[in-house]
Structure 1
Amino acid sequence: MTVNDDAFTNWKTREEIAESMIPIIGRLHREQDVTVLLHSRSLVNKSVVSILKTHRFARQIAGEELSVTDTLPFLQTLTTLDLGPSQIDIGMLAATYRADDRGLSVEEFTAEAVAGATGENKIELREGRDVVLYGFGRIGRLLARLLIEKTGSGNGLRLRAIVVRQGGDQDIVKRASLLRRDSIHGQFQGTITVDEASSTIIANGNEIKVIYANDPSEIDYTAYGIKDAILVDNTGKWRDREGLSKHLRPGIDKVVLTAPGKGDVPNIVHGVNHDTIKPDEQILSCASCTTNAIVPPLKAMAEEYGVLRGHVETVHSFTNDQNLLDNYHSSDRRGRSAPLNMVITETGAASAVAKALPDLKAPITGSSIRVPVPDVSIAILSLRLGRATTREEVLDYLRNVSLTSPLKRQIDFISAPDAVSSDFIGSRHASIVDAGATKVEDDNAILYLWYDNEFGYSCQVIRVVQHVSGVEYPTFPAPAV
C-alpha cells in the first residue's frame, strides 16, 4: 500500500466517523435543545465534510488537527447523560481532558464537565419565545435564516411574523424567493413554500405570517396569536426611544434595533456588555456591524495591555443606501456609483465605543471608506497601548482569546497568508483577527479585523435576542475567565 493509499484510507475512516456523528448531533438538538459545538462552531445540520473541516480548524490550538476519533467518545457520552438545554463544546472537552492528569475516564470527565446542564441543575424545556421581524431587507432575511435554523426542539426562538409594506402583485412570492436565494450567502438550507391565501411563508415547517402595514400603530399582534414577542426592527427608520416605542403594541414585549440607538437607548454588543441589560428594559439597540467588530478585540486588548488611545479606519463594503450609478443622494459622496468607486464616508462606530465600553477612557477616533465589494469589510484598529509588547505575544494572546475566552464567539483568528475578504462570507464571528497583517512595535499595535458586516452582525443580533428572551443557554465546559 502506498502513502497515498494510507491517506485515502484514513480519510474514508474519518468520513465514516463523521457520518455517525450527524444523527447523534441531530437528536440532541431536536429532543433536548442541546447544541453541539466544536471550539464555538456549531455542528448542527452540518455535512460530513463540514464536520471534518471544523475539526481541522483546531490545528490553531497546538499545531495539529483535532480528529473526529478524539471527539466521538465525548459525543457518545453526552447521549447517556440527563442533559437539559445547553451548548456543549466537544472540542473544548477533548482539549481540557487531554490536559487533565487525574486519570479520569472520558465518561467520568464529561459528566463532571457538563454537570451544570444535568440532573437537578439542568434548565427545563420551556415554551418557545415569539419573534417578529419588522422589515425584511438584507439583515431581516439573514435573521430569518438564523431563527429558522435555531428552531431546534421548538422550545427556543420562534419566528412568527414579518412586517413589511405591500409591494404589489405577488409580493409574498417575491419575498419568499429572496429568502430562498441570496447572491452572496447562497441557497436557503431547507424548503420554503408559500400560502398566498393566508399570507404565510412556511420555511422548514415554520409558519411565518406576512403582515402588511405602513406603520406600527396599524397592528394588533395578538390577532395573529402572537404574545410576549421580541420585535426586531431592521428598518432603521426609528432609532430613539420615542420612535421605537411605537412598536410596543399588543403582543410585543421588547424591541431590538439593528442600528445604533440614539439618546438613552442602550447599545449592546453581545459578549461585551449584554449582561448590563436590565430585565425590565423594553427597548435596546445592537449597535452597528462595525461597532460589533471593533469593541470585542478592543476590550480584549484593554484588559491585557491597557489602551491609551486609538483610531479605527473601516474599509467597508457598499450597501443599499448607496446608488448603483451616479444620482442624487441626501448625503455627501454616497450619490456616486457604489460598484465603481471608493467612497469616503463617516462612521459612528468610534463614538459608539463609549456606550459599549464606558470604563474605557481612551479617546477613539474613526473614519470609513466604502469600496466596490458587496459584503465583508475590514477594520484597521491602531492602538497606543499601556505597555510595550511584541507581535508574537499579542498574536498568542488573541489566538487564546479566540479559542478559550468568554469572547470566543465574537473574536475569530486566522493565520492563512493569502486570506482575502470573500473568505469570510458567512463568518458567524463579530470579527476575525488577521495574524499575518498584525503589526506591533513597542507600545503601538495595529490590528486588521475582517468582518462579515451582514451575516456576522446578524449572528450578534440573534445572540442578544436569545439573551433577553431567556433562551441563551449556558456553554459547557465554561470558558476561561
Structure 2
Amino acid sequence: MTVNDDSFTNWMHREEIAESMIPIIGKLHREQDVNVLLHSRSLVNKSVVSILKTHRFARQIAGEELSVTDTMPFLKALTTLDLGPSQIDMGMLAATYRADGHGLSIEEFTAEAVAGATGDNKIERRESRDVVLYGFGRIGRLIARLLIEKAGSGNGLRLRAIVVRKGSGQDIVKRASLLRRDSIHGQFQGTITVDEANSKIIANGNEIRMIYSDDPTTVDYTAYGIKDAILIDNTGRWRDREGLSKHLQPGIAKVVLTAPGKGDVPNIVHGVNHDTVKPDERILSCASCTTNAIVPPLKAMADEYGVLRGHVETVHSYTNDQNLLDNYHGSDRRGRSAALNMVITETGAASAVAKALPELKAPITGSSIRVPVPDVSIAILSLRLERETTREEVLDYLRNVSLASPLKRQIDFISAPDAVSSDFIGSRHASIVDAGATKVDGDNAILYLWYDNEFGYSCQVIRVVQHVSGVEYPTYPAPAV
C-alpha cells in the first residue's frame, strides 16, 4: 500500500467516526439541551466534513491537530451521564485529560469534569423565551438565522415576530427571499415557506409573524400570543432610554439595541461586562461591532500586561449607511461611492470602551476607514503597556486566552500566514487575533484583529439576549479564570 493509500484509508476511517458522531450530538441537543462544542465551536447540525475541519482547525490554535479518534471516547462518555442543559467542550476535555488525567479513565474523568451539569446539580430545562425583531436589515436577518438555528431543542429563544414598515407589493415574499438567500453569507440552512394570508414566514418549522407598523407605541404583542418577550431593535432609530422605551408595549419585557446606546443605556459586550446587567434592567445596548471586536482583547491585554494608552484604527467594510454612487449624505465623506473609494470616517468605538470597560483608565483614541469590501473588517490596536514583553510571550498568552479563558467565545486566534478578510466571513467570534501580523517591541504592542462585523457581532447580540433571558447555559469544563 502506498503512502497515499494510507492517507486515504485514514481519512475514510475518520469520516466514519465523524458520521457516527452526528446522531449522538443531535440526540444530546434535542433531548437534553446539551450543545457539544469543540474549542468553542458548536458541532450541532454540522456535516461530516465540517466536524473534521473543526477538529483540524485546532492545529492552528493548540499546535497539533485534534482527531475524532481522540474526542469520540469523550462523546460516548457523555451519553452515559444524566446531563442537564449545558455546553460541553470536547476539545477542552481532551486537552485537559491529555495534560493531566489524574490517572482516571476517560469515563471517570468526563463525569468529574461535567459534574456541575449532572444529577442533582443540573439545571432544569426552561420554557422558550419569546423574541421579537424590530427591523429586518443586515443584522436583523442574521439574528433571525441564528435564532432559528438555535431553536432545535425546542427550548431557549423562540423568534415569534418581526416588525417592519409595510413595503409595496409582495412585501413578505420579498423579505422571506432575503432571509433565504444572502450574497455574503450564503443560503439559509433549511426550508422557508410563506403564508401570505396569515402574514407568516415558516422557517424550519418556526412560525414567525410579520407585523407591519410605523410606530412602536401602536403594537399590542399580546394580541399575537407573545408574552414576556425580548425585543431586539435593529433599526438604530432610537438609541436613548426615552426612545427605546417606546417598545415597552404589552407583551415586551426587555429591549436590546444593536447599536451603541446613548445616555444611561448600558453598553454590553458579552464576555466582558454582561454580568453587570441588573435583573430589573429593561433597556440595554450591545454596543457596536467594532467595540465588541476591540474590548475583549483589550481587556485580556490589560489584565496581563497593563495598558497605559492605546489607539485603534479600523479598516471597515462598507455598510448600507453609505451610498453606492456619489450622492447627498448628512455625514462628511459618506456620500461618496462606497464601492469605489476608501472613505475616512469617525468611529465611536474608542469612546465606547469606557462604558464597557470602566476599570481601564488608559486613554484610547480611534479612527476609521471604510473600504470597498462588503463584509469583514480589521481593527489595528496599538497599545503602550505597563511592562516590557516579547512577541512570543504575547502570542502564547493570547492563544491560551482563545482556548481556555472566559473570553474564548469572544477571542479567536489564527496563525495561517496567508489569511485574508474573506476567510473570516461567518466567524462567530467577536475578534480573531492574527498571529502573523502581531508586532511587539518592548512595551509597545500592535494587534491586528479581524472581525465579521455582521455575523460575529450578531452572535454577540444573541449571547447577550441569552444571558438576560436566563437561557445562557454553563460551559464545561469551566474555563480558567
- TM-score bracket for this pair, using the shorter chain length: over 0.9
Offset of 1:152 from its aligned partner? 2.5
Q: Distance in 2 between matches of 1:177 and 1:234?
A: 19
Q: Distance in 2 between matches of 1:96 and 1:344?
A: 46
Given that 1:426 and 1:455 are in contact with CA atoms closer than 8 Å, whether structure 2 keeps it comes out as: yes
DSSP-derived class of the 1:453 partner? coil
Secondary structure of the structure 2 residue equivalent to 1:147: helix
Report the Cα distance in structure 2 between the residues aligned to 1:61 and 1:338, rounded to whole angstroms. 35
Name 1:247's counterpart in structure 2.
247
Residues 127, 156 of structure 2: 8 Å contact kept: yes
CA distance in 2, matches of 1:231, 1:84: 28
CA distance in 1, matches of 2:252, 2:102: 51
How far the C-alpha of 1:63 sits from its partner, in A, is 2.2
Tell me if the contact between 1:289 and 1:457 (Cα under 8 Å) persists in the aligned partners.
Answer: yes
Work out the CA distance in 1 between the residues paired with 2:63 and 2:137: 41
- Separation (CA, whole Å) in 2 of partners of 1:14 and 1:34: 23
Q: Which residue of 2 aligns with 1:80?
A: 80
Cα distance in 2, alignment partners of residues 79 and 165 from structure 1: 48
Deviation at 1:60, TM superposition (A): 3.4
| SS class of match (1:419) | coil
Q: Tell me, what secondary structure is at the counterpart of 1:467?
A: helix
SS at structure 2 position matched to 1:186: coil
CA distance 1:261–1:47, shift in 2 (3 Å): same
> Residues of 2 paired with 1:237 and 1:466: CA distance?
23
**Deviation (angstroms), 1:102:** 2.0
The 2-side partners of 1:205 and 1:152 are apart by: 10
- TM-score w.r.t. the length of structure 2 is 0.99
Hey, what's the Cα distance between the residues in 1 that align with 2:291 and 2:97?
36
Could you list the per-position Cα deviations for residues 297-343 of structure 1 after superposition, in whole angstroms to 9, with x for gaps in the alignment?
Answer: 00000000000000000000000000000000011100000000000
* Residues 61 and 413 in structure 2, CA contact (< 8 A), matched pair in contact too: no
Partners of 2:136 and 2:234 within 8 A in 1:
yes
Q: Which deviates the most, 149-158 or 430-439?
A: 149-158
Distance 2:63 2:391 in 1: 19
The alignment of Structure 1 onto Structure 2 pairs a total of residues equal to 481
Determine if contact 2:319/2:374 at 8 Å carries over to the other structure: yes
- Residue pair 1:230, 1:254 contacting (<8 A) in 2 also: yes
Report if the CA contact (8 A) 2:431-2:451 is conserved: yes
Q: Is the 8 A contact 2:70 2:94 kept in 1?
A: yes
Local SS of the residue matching 1:237? coil
Matches of 2:243 and 2:465, distance apart in 1? 20
Deviation at 1:209, TM superposition (A): 0.3
Any unmatched runs of 5+ in structure 1? none
Work out the CA distance in 2 between the residues paired with 1:432 and 1:366.
19
Structure 2 CA distance for partners of 1:339 and 1:40, relative to 1, 3 Å: same
Query: CA offsets, 1:121-174, max 9 Å, x none?
Result: 111112100000000000000000000000132111000000000001100000
Once residues 270 and 153 of structure 1 are traced to their aligned partners in structure 2, the CA distance between those partners, rounded to angstroms, is 23
Q: Which moved more, 1:69-78 or 1:180-189?
A: 69-78
Unaligned runs of 5+ in 2: none
Compared CA separation, residues 48 and 406, structure 1 to 2 (3 A): same
8 A Cα contact 1:333 1:343, kept in partner = yes
Specify whether residues 91 and 101 from structure 1 end up closer, same or farther in structure 2 by C-alpha distance, changes over 3 A only: closer
**TM superposition shift of 1:6:** 0.2
Q: Once structures 1 and 2 are overlaid, which stretch shifts more, 73-82 or 287-296?
A: 73-82
User: Which residue of 1 is the match for residue 433 of structure 2?
Assistant: 433
Give secondary structure in 1 for the equivalent of 2:443: strand
Whether 1:406 aligns to 2:399 is no
Quote the Cα distance in structure 1 between the aligned partners of 2:466 and 2:120: 23
- TM-aligned CA deviation for residue 61 of structure 1: 4.7
Provide closer, same or farther for how the CA distance between residues 26 and 101 of structure 1 changes in structure 2, counting only shifts above 3 A: closer
Distance across 2 between alignment mates of 1:197 and 1:15: 45
Separation in 1 of the partners of 2:62 and 2:127? 42
For 1:206 and 1:388, the matched residues in 2 are separated by 54
Structure-2 separation of matches of 1:100 and 1:349: 41
Listed one character per residue, the Cα deviations across residues 269-311 of structure 1 (whole Å, up to 9, x for unaligned) are 0000000000000000000000000000000000000000000
Instruction: Give the structure 1 partner of residue 265 of structure 2.
Output: 265
Range with greater deviation from structure 2 (120-129 or 459-468): 120-129
In structure 2, the residue corresponding to 1:18 is in which secondary structure? helix
Residue matched to 1:133: 133
Deviation at 1:38, TM superposition (A): 0.2
Question: Quick one: structure 1 residues 346 and 61, their matched pair in 2 at CA, closer, same or farther if it must change by over 3 Å?
Answer: closer
Q: Distance in 2 between matches of 1:446 and 1:465?
A: 32
- Measured in 2, the distance between the counterparts of 1:270 and 1:62 equals 24
- CA–CA distance in 1 between the matches of 2:330 and 2:22? 51
Q: Distance in 1 between matches of 2:414 and 2:475?
A: 23
Counterpart in the other structure of 1:479? 479
* Partner Cα distance (1:450, 1:155) in 2: 32
Distance 1:320 1:282, change over 3 A: same
What secondary structure, in the 3-state scheme, does the structure 2 residue paired with 1:176 have? helix
C-alpha distance in 1, partners of 2:126/2:56?
A: 35
The CA RMSD measured in Å over matched residues stands at 0.6
Task: Give the Cα–Cα distance (whole angstroms) in 2 for the partners of residues 56 and 331 of structure 1.
Answer: 45
Alignment correspondent of 2:334: 334
Contact 2:61/2:414 (<8 A) preserved = no
Q: Deviations over 1:77-111 (max 9, x none)?
A: 11111111100001111111111242111111111
The 2-side partners of 1:7 and 1:100 are apart by 30
Instruction: Spell out, residue by residue over 1:391-440, the C-alpha distance to the aligned partner (whole angstroms, 9 max, x if none).
Output: 00000000000011000000000001111000000000000000000000
Q: Percent identity?
A: 90
Q: Is the 8 A contact 2:312 2:367 kept in 1?
A: yes
Residues 472 and 101 of structure 1: CA distance in aligned 2, closer, same or farther (over 3 Å):
closer
State the secondary structure of the residue aligned to 1:182: coil
Contact 1:15 1:52 survives alignment (8 Å): yes
CA distance in 1, matches of 2:153, 2:365: 45
3-state DSSP of counterpart to 1:30: helix
Q: Is the 8 A contact 1:33 1:152 kept in 2?
A: no
* Matched-pair contact (CA < 8 Å) for 2:101–2:109: no
| Residue 191 (str. 1) matches residue 191 (str. 2) | yes
Write the distance in 2 (CA, Å) between the matches of 1:136 and 1:102. Answer: 51
Give the 3 Å change call, closer, same or farther, for CA 394–219 of structure 1 in structure 2. Answer: same
What is the distance in 2 between the residues matched to 1:101 and 1:21?
A: 23
How far did 1:62 drift? 4.2
Q: Is the 8 A contact 2:60 2:416 kept in 1?
A: no
Asked whether the equivalents of residues 271 and 410 of structure 2 are also in contact (C-alpha less than 8 Å), the reply is yes
Give 1:64 deviation, angstroms: 1.6
